[in-house]
Structure 1
């Protein structure tokens, strides 16, 4: 638990192969898989799968290897999950994407903000000029016709309401310096507002959609008529009304699925871990400290905190917070858990409060920072491979001086300034 290995390079990216590579690397470092206490991966199914995903394969070997996924990406995946379950949401996403590609790219080209061509760095999925010029009018007319329906008007208003509810949470999760406690509170806020939307705001939503449709000459259906799906023959009428379709199968289901996604992706274990980390954070003179939440975090690591240790930990926490918050001024200027762990060692308080220090180390093992979308999209496979080579061959690279590296890089091509 004292050491952290976080880089593994394998050609086969199946979950089982990744697990084997990780365990081989742990063995090379004389580390036991049972000592793994944290893991974090992207949202790929081979990583996050609840049955055979990498995180679950690791958990089978070490039940205490809790997984925390990138917060902002988690929220994005809730919408992805809903769009996969609801045909109407999926259709709306595709339609908006198509409209953006046709109209947005054409406007950007006309304004000179984008260029066309081929290559890896093309934006917005633009076609070349000839394709855009001849294909856009017919595509635009088709998309315009698709937009002039009650279904699209209803979906736009509904999804706007859903996304507005999660907007504050989304902005909070995108911050570089995350306030974990507030982020988790905003998850609960979003859940409660979604429930209120489901229980109390159907009538106001229909009123808004109807007003919009009247203003823009969009036909409003008779809600008492049988619903006819566009995916089935018009001769085969559904055994429920148009009202039932929109209120139950679309409105209620979308909100229920969104709530389910939030519950699954921000589950109780993750919430307890994150609240515990937030309470250990020394920022603002330990203002977030809550002994009950820290103890709940410790309960998730029974191999590290058995029954006797839990009572000792509680006593240590009570003394520790009085010491570092109210008495020892050397702890008044800390900016995070890293600073806290260093200061505990520098002041030798890690030996006074060994179980508290163990919790701090566990908190440092759990990666909770997010990578921005821009950063993820700019990191190509070549970039990652280039980063991995110096790590894997560090014995060789340790013998190469910085001056040699700078000169080689400078000689690769002409540059505006001398490195």
Structure 2
């Protein structure tokens, strides 16, 4: 459908019109997932809020993780300056073919695929690659910057810029942040890739986010380790200190000390820890924890499937009642009785391993393979509702990225049919690579050949 506007109400009207045209009911759209753009995820006026009035939905887990990381990056000036430094470093070497060649020769790209990356706000894999490349090739990058700074044949402005980057890369604060952010971003990027999997279930997504939050929280007591590693990497043992005047307390705000006591003066190490290290960790934990709640509320309703054998009849009754409150039009009151019998049914097939699939997927497959849908209809429906919940919508968004790559200024005259076919081939490239084109090429050559055979 044509775009009707960028506002939440405009998108909601377009969505309802689309569903009406295709004969779909909103209450049957169980697997709803939204990204975290303000127009989509606004708490009061976003599209998600308007749809939630009609039917429950969840935000995209991968987008939630990205926003949590974005908040952590922007929580203090030191973090902002660090990623700005990474971007300046990338631009400095890529804007000039000569400087890029110097860097390429120093890093020996034939033996390593790592390279400086453009730091964007959305592609967190680029941030992870950028910090990893700087950490692994730290000394080589310093040597190239030193070479450019000392090269008298270079322009003065270039030498000055290289000297500024060299002084910043030699700072202890930069060394600490390189190692610290590399650890955080590597785990974030790995978790992000898991959350983008098309077949990921909700409980696994919640566990992945929770484990990442716990990992980041464990770094609160690791500042001394990062400081030691930062000194070894940067070769500097001193922080960049700025002189500030001593502040006195306001007599009106603190009358008991008569304005005589001075502000507590922290050591450079403690100051950097409290102002640049801990705020990043705390902001990351807070952001992820806030977004985790949206998933935990829904995940908790289905979590009993993971430990059916451990629950008593009363526990199964309570779990069934909780699920019935959320889906009264889909399930009936016999769900609790079905669960009691279903536990005994599952125990008979306890030897069958679920393999690499989730417990919920295994239970649903067991019902379908054994043909007992009529015996456990409510359980089959409950499992089906859970399995179609959209944990991530990243795979759908990739189609727009592909469209931007394919329909560029060189292909603006192609028609819709050709464009659609090229986009499908690009999206399903893994399937495309497995196809054998010999028969296709032979048929095409036979049909298009102008040479008359058999004469």
Match among 346, 356, 363 for residue 386 of structure 2: 363
Partner of 2:143: none
Q: Give yes or no for contact 2:354–2:362 (8 Å, CA) kept in 1.
A: no
User: Whole-Å Cα distance in 2 between the matches of residues 369 and 297 of structure 1?
Assistant: 27
Matched, 1:220 2:239: yes
SS at match of 1:99: helix
Q: CA deviation at 1:260?
A: 0.9
Partner of 1:203: 224
User: Whole-Å Cα distance in 2 between the matches of residues 184 and 375 of structure 1?
Assistant: 23
Partner of 1:233: none
Q: CA deviation at 1:32?
A: 5.0
SS at match of 1:266: helix
SS at match of 2:373: helix
Partner of 2:277: 251
Matched, 1:59 2:59: no
Partner of 1:103: 93
Q: Give yes or no for contact 2:58–2:391 (8 Å, CA) kept in 1.
A: no
Distance 1:377 1:93, change over 3 A: farther
SS at match of 1:52: coil
Q: Give yes or no for contact 2:171–2:240 (8 Å, CA) kept in 1.
A: no
Distance 1:319 1:299, change over 3 A: same
Match among 277, 287, 306 for residue 261 of structure 1: 287
For residues 60-84 of structure 1, what are the alpha-carbon distances to aligned partners after superposition, in whole Å with 9 as ceiling and x for unaligned? Answer: 333xx22140x44432332112123
Distance 1:416 1:44, change over 3 A: farther
Matched, 1:44 2:58: no
Partner of 1:408: none
Matched, 1:353 2:344: no
Structure with the larger RCO, 1 or 2 (CA within 8 Å, 6+ apart): 2
For residues 348-401 of structure 1, what are the alpha-carbon distances to aligned partners after superposition, in whole Å with 9 as ceiling and x for unaligned? Answer: 5323222212212312431235646994674235979x9xx78xxxxxxxxxxx
User: Whole-Å Cα distance in 2 between the matches of residues 376 and 227 of structure 1?
Assistant: 57
TM-score by length of 2: 0.59
Instruction: Give the number of equivalent residue pairs.
Output: 348
User: Whole-Å Cα distance in 2 between the matches of residues 109 and 163 of structure 1?
Assistant: 28
**Aligned-residue CA RMSD (Å):** 5.0
Higher deviation after alignment, 33-42 or 337-346: 337-346
Match among 14, 23, 26 for residue 21 of structure 1: 14
Q: Which has the larger radius of gyration?
A: 2
Partner of 1:89: 79
Partner of 1:318: 340
For residues 101-158 of structure 1, what are the alpha-carbon distances to aligned partners after superposition, in whole Å with 9 as ceiling and x for unaligned? Answer: 33357576676999xxxxxxxx959xxxxxxx98865543332233333433343343
TM-score by length of 1: 0.63
